[in-house]
Copies of this chain bind each other. A is one copy, B any other.
Amino acid sequence: MVLLRRRLGDVLRGRRMQRGMTLRQVSAEARVSLGYISEIERGHKEASSELLASLCAALDVPLSEVLGEVSAALAVEEAAVLPLEHAELAVRPARSAGNVVASAA
């Protein structure tokens, strides 16, 4: 199952690294415990919307940008996972990967 909190954690950690911030610094800025942020980054805990907003503010990145990055990462993951998971669900046409008609003219 493709889970939001895992990719979200990766993206948040990536942004923190990009800014050269330690967990301690983000913790102080966002007023969230260091342990909790660490759990979120590892995809072990869910971040509430308020907490996520605080983290984004501390990292100085818009929430929309973080979610855009998460969305892109999830799309890659889905492309790898869904063909297996959704083999049965293929009756309903959500996405068109695999819908390409091989026109071997």
Using a CB–CB cutoff of 8 Å, the interface residues on chain A facing chain B are 1-6, 29-31, 46, 48-50, 52-54, 57-58, 60-65, 67-68, 70-72, 74-75, 77-78, 82, 89, 92-95
Can you report 15 A-B residue pairs in the complex whose CB atoms are below 8 A from each other?
Answer: A3-B50, A4-B53, A31-B94, A46-B46, A57-B93, A62-B74, A62-B75, A62-B95, A64-B72, A64-B78, A65-B71, A65-B75, A67-B67, A67-B74, A71-B71
Residues of chain B within 8 A (CB-CB) of A68 are: 68, 71, 75
What is the total number of copies of this protein in its complex?
2
Secondary structure at chain A's binding surface: helix, strand, loop or mixed? helix
Residues of chain B within 8 A (CB-CB) of A31 are: 94-95
